Structure 1
Amino acid sequence: MPDSLLKKYSGAVPRYTSYPTAPHFHEGVDTGVYAEWLQAITDEQTLSLYLHIPYCDRLCWFCACHTKHTLKYEPIAIYLESLRKEIAAVGKLVNRDAVVTAVHFGGGSPTMVRPDDLVDLMAALRDAFRFSDEVEISVEMDPNDLDEPRYDALARIGMTRASLGVQDFHPDVQRAINRIQTFEHTKSVVDAVRVRGVHSVNCDILYGLPHQTEETLADTVRDILSLSPDRIALFGYAHVPWMKKHQTMIREDVLPGIEARFAQMSLAARMLVEAGYEPIGIDHFARPTDSMAIAQREGRLRRNFQGYTVDAADALIGLGASSIGQLPQGYVQNMPATGEYQRMADNGGLAAVRGVAVTDDDRMRRRVIEEIMCRFELSFDALRAEFGADAEAIVGEAGSFAASNQDDICRLVGDRFTITEAGRPFARTIAAVFDSYLANGKGRHSIAV
């Protein structure tokens, strides 16, 4: 890949886990608006639940999540009381016949929650919502939190997918990001959840970390492959110290540059494909028999705030501090500050403080961006069938971009706008062409590669 091409298309753009993106949320979407949106959910619609646990017992310096460090359990216990109140309040507003098909516990570190509290939290969810008999329950796991009682509690709540952050196993890299986690410890977690019947394991790898080289990353990839995970996420480290102050603990002079990041990404992706994993979108890989690989082949792959997903629920309900929900009418985010979130949840149950109602143009552009991010192409005929005459605006924009592009990163092929193999690493940049909000300058983003 020529350096000139990398520099040209690796500018800072959104990750497009939503559209409009979060910098365009506003305070006009409050608890009153959110309550109306929840009450409008019908008995035929399906639900996905995301629960945010904003605590960690160590603060990883690379992390960009909403979380805080604590070595005491009392703040977590108090937070869980407020979370259960929000769950009950949302459950009273949502149509009881709407079925929950997926639950995701994220953080922070959900595995910091004590076994009895985790079981009680799931019981609160089941009291408030109607669950499908085949509900998928995924949990983000920190190996350093886990012990036998927690493994047993995770089995009791019905966990079907375990997601483990690995990042890089090299000691120098781990020290530089304050994330000490041995391969042996990680393997013990994978073995423990599989013994308890978990059918899917996901591992996250990061490239672009301090002191990371192609050699250290290759060693990590080989170690991960030896665990035979069902899915692997290969993310580029997003250095955003203006948003996350603890990232200032990472020295910028030991971060790889754009060319080195691209080489690391390319090497890891090649190793995963050679090992039999199918590439999914821009940063996921899955075994051919995994539901994500099957969804991609069948054109059902989706993208939301958890990244690539097979979750086809009509509404994603975010629960907990900073959680973001996606409903047919738009997006809504809870109060990020934990203490203020607890006050709101304790006083009225709902804690929404901002969001955005989507317009018809937003829905169309969201579809376009999702198609580009998930399938690397856009069918004009399909777009016209869904959005009618409004689609002609997108057809014109796509045609103009393809005609003006001299680097062969995209082409018009029949009725399709197609991203070439050379253009796939820059899918975020190409998707940004169709983002009508980006030019207003709101928000700062990470680089695209």
Structure 2
Amino acid sequence: MTTDLIARYAGPVPRYTSYPTAPHFHDGVTQQTYARWLGEINSNEPISLYLHLPFCDRLCWFCGCHTKQVVRYDPIAAYLDALNMEIETVARHLGRSQPVCAIHFGGGSPTMIEPVDLARLRTTLDKHFTILPTCEISVEVDPNDINQARLDGWGAFGATRASFGVQDFDLKVQQSINRLQSFEQTRDALEGFRQRGVRSANLDVLYGLPHQTEETLAATIKQVISLIPDRVALFGYAHVPWMKKHQTMIDEAALPNMEQRFAQAALGARLLTEAGYITVGIDHFALPSDTMAQAALNGTLRRNFQGYTTDSANVLIGLGASSIGSLPQGYIQSITATAQYSRRALAGELPVARGFALSEADKARRWIIEMLMCGFAFDAAELRKLFPAQAEALLRQAASFVAADLDDLVRMEGDRFIVTRQGRPFVRVVASWFDDYLATGAARHSAAV
């Protein structure tokens, strides 16, 4: 990969966990809109739930999530009262005990929830939804929060998948991002979850961190592989201090440059594939036995706000402050400020801040972008079948991209628009060519590599 090619295509673009992306959401979508959308959901259709806990007991400087540091448990307990009430309100608008096929706890640090409150959440969910026996229940884990009681609590809740943020095990790198977490802590927490019935584990590694080198990254990945996780996510650190002020604590002079980031990403991918992991999309790797690897191979891989997923539900309901839901009609984002969110939720209201109602043209472009992000290609015949009114204009646009491409990033192979092997590291850029809103907003994004 040449320096010129990296320079041309490694600029800032969205990560495309949705289309349109969140900066284009607006307050014209209200709780009344959301209530109507909930009422229109098919009563027999399995849905997914995302529960957000926006609290941590320390602030990691690299973090891009909506979260805040707390030193007492009281704010978490009060917030969980509001979360339980929001669950009840959503269920009331659904008007039925909707079947649930996936539940994901994100944060923040959901593993800060005490067992008694976790049991109460499970009771609330069971009262208002039908949690299917095959439901995947996943939780993002901070090993620093884990003790035996909390492990028992997640086991009793029914957790089936645990995701651990590793970042880098090198001490200097950890100190530079305010995230101290030893290999031993991670190993012990993972083993604790496995002993309590968690069938699958994911470990997240970052490249592009301050003071990170190919040597520190290689050492970390080798330690990660030794834990035999079912999945590994290899993310590029998104340095966005204009959005996340705590990232100003990071020494920008210690960050790898674009060529170094590219080399780190390539090294990580090589080490993981040599260890037997299947490449999934742009930044995930899975053992051949894992459902994500199988989804990547058979074309059923999906992408949502948590990244790549095997969740096939067409409805994802976000619960909690700043959470985002995805419904066939569009997107809903909850109020970010926890105090305002809690007031609205405790009042029995849907705590909607903003959203986006999708047109048929939006849905067609969203489908193309998801196909590119998941499988690096889309089929013209399938596009015509799914979106007959939009297909021809989009295919003409795709042909124009191929004609203008002088770097062999994309091609037409028969009836398929494909991203070439050379173009795959820049698939976010290719996806952005189909983004009808990218030029209309003032949002700034992270680097494409």
Alignment correspondent of 1:108: 108
1:122 is displaced (CA, Å) by 1.4
1:281 is displaced (CA, Å) by 0.2
Between 90-99 and 171-180, report the one with greater CA deviation.
90-99
Between 244-253 and 36-45, report the one with greater CA deviation.
36-45
Please say if 1:165 is aligned against 2:165. yes
In the superposition, the TM-score normalised over structure 2's length comes to: 0.99
AA of the residue aligned to 1:194: R
Between 293-302 and 142-151, report the one with greater CA deviation.
293-302
1:97 is displaced (CA, Å) by 4.8
AA of the residue aligned to 1:157: F
Alignment correspondent of 1:347: 347
Alignment correspondent of 1:130: 130
Segments of 5+ residues of structure 2 without an aligned counterpart are none
Alignment correspondent of 2:206: 206
On the 8 A contact 1:96/1:130 being kept in 2, the answer is no
On the 8 A contact 2:98/2:130 being kept in 1, the answer is yes
Between 327-336 and 390-399, report the one with greater CA deviation.
390-399
On the 8 A contact 1:88/1:349 being kept in 2, the answer is no
Alignment correspondent of 2:151: 151
On the 8 A contact 1:24/1:442 being kept in 2, the answer is no
AA of the residue aligned to 1:380: A
On the 8 A contact 1:166/1:181 being kept in 2, the answer is yes
Alignment correspondent of 2:447: 447
Segments of 5+ residues of structure 1 without an aligned counterpart are none
Per-residue Cα deviation, 1:109-154 (whole angstroms, up to 9, x for no partner)? 0000111111111111111111111110000000000000000000
1:349 is displaced (CA, Å) by 3.3
1:42 is displaced (CA, Å) by 1.5
Quick one: distance in 2 between partners of 1:281 and 1:95? 37
Quick one: distance in 2 between partners of 1:440 and 1:30? 22
Quick one: distance in 2 between partners of 1:202 and 1:305? 16
Please say if 1:248 is aligned against 2:248. yes
Quick one: distance in 2 between partners of 1:386 and 1:242? 39
1:394 is displaced (CA, Å) by 1.2
Alignment correspondent of 1:373: 373
Alignment correspondent of 1:318: 318
RMSD of aligned residue pairs (Cα, Å): 0.8
Query: After the TM superposition, which residues 278-289 of structure 1 pair with which residues of structure 2 at under 5 Å, given as runs?
Result: 278-289=278-289
Quick one: distance in 1 between partners of 2:288 and 2:405? 34
Quick one: distance in 2 between partners of 1:169 and 1:349? 44
Quick one: distance in 2 between partners of 1:388 and 1:97? 35
1:261 is displaced (CA, Å) by 0.2
Alignment correspondent of 2:71: 71
Alignment correspondent of 1:222: 222
Quick one: distance in 2 between partners of 1:415 and 1:40? 36
On the 8 A contact 1:142/1:164 being kept in 2, the answer is yes
1:401 is displaced (CA, Å) by 0.7
Quick one: distance in 1 between partners of 2:210 and 2:289? 34
AA of the residue aligned to 2:261: R
Distance 1:257 1:375, change over 3 A: same
AA of the residue aligned to 1:374: C
Quick one: distance in 2 between partners of 1:97 and 1:58? 37
1:19 is displaced (CA, Å) by 0.6
Quick one: distance in 1 between partners of 2:293 and 2:95? 32
Quick one: distance in 2 between partners of 1:119 and 1:146? 16
On the 8 A contact 1:50/1:317 being kept in 2, the answer is yes
1:296 is displaced (CA, Å) by 1.3
AA of the residue aligned to 1:101: C
1:77 is displaced (CA, Å) by 0.5
On the 8 A contact 1:41/1:98 being kept in 2, the answer is no
Quick one: distance in 2 between partners of 1:353 and 1:359? 20
Q: Percent identity?
A: 57
Alignment correspondent of 1:181: 181
Alignment correspondent of 1:437: 437
On the 8 A contact 2:97/2:128 being kept in 1, the answer is no
Alignment correspondent of 2:337: 337
Alignment correspondent of 1:89: 89
1:95 is displaced (CA, Å) by 4.2
AA of the residue aligned to 2:344: M
Quick one: distance in 2 between partners of 1:375 and 1:286? 15
